[in-house]
Amino acid sequence: MERKLVGLVLIVAGVTAGLVWAAGGVTHPFAPVVALLLFLVGASMFGKTSQLAERLQPLVGRSVRVLVWGTELPGYPGIEVAVDSVRAVGPGLHFYLRSPDGPPAHLKIAQPRDATVAADGMEIRDAKYVQWRGRKIAKVSGAKALVPEGRSGSS
């Protein structure tokens, strides 16, 4: 419920800022951009991806081995990574994963579909695409978009 309240506040702030700008109360050239961003971020908090990110919060702080389209993350064979954060931005699900010896790296799941979240794990069966560290990972027909495995305790 807190997520929806924050989303509603951002939407109202965006609409208000846009109306103030349109009425001439604010003349800064970036005012309509800020108003639009507030509105869009608020609206994204009501989407399915935002709900999925909320359900994935128990993964934060856990160590997992990540499979994308049935293969391990490029450059991370057999390595468990710690989940630093899981966020939704619009229709994208964004994971920040930390290897034992490095800074967090970004994993984006664009338009995740057919997600299952249970006490013993989670999986995303399909997505428009998956991007790891700024590069798309080739989609493999029949393979799941994302499966974090082997959740060990907190890191």
In a domain, 146, yes or no: yes
27 and 97 both lie in a single domain: no
Is residue 51 one of the residues assigned to a domain? Answer: no
**HEC assignment per residue over the chain:** CHHHHHHHHHHHHHHHHHHHHHCCCCCCCCHHHHHHHHHHHHHHCCCHHHHHHHHCHHHCCEEEEEEECCEECCCCCCCCEEEEEEEEECCEEEEEEECCCCCEEEEEEECCEEEEEECCEEEEEECCEEEECCEEECCCCCCCCEEEEEEEEEC
Whole-structure pTM value: 0.74
> In the structure encoding, which two tokens stand for residue 12, read together?
């109202």
Q: Are 146 and 78 contained in the same domain? A: yes
Range of the domain at 123: 57-154
- Single-letter amino acid, residue 26: V
Residues 26 and 76 in one domain: no
Q: Domain for residue 122, yes or no?
A: yes
Tens of each residue's pLDDT in the chain, 155 residues? 677 788 889 989 999 999 999 999 988 999 999 999 998 888 877 778 888 888 888 889 988 889 999 999 988 888 899 999 999 887 899 999 998 888 899 999 999 998 888 776 789 999 999 999 999 999 998 999 988 876 444 44
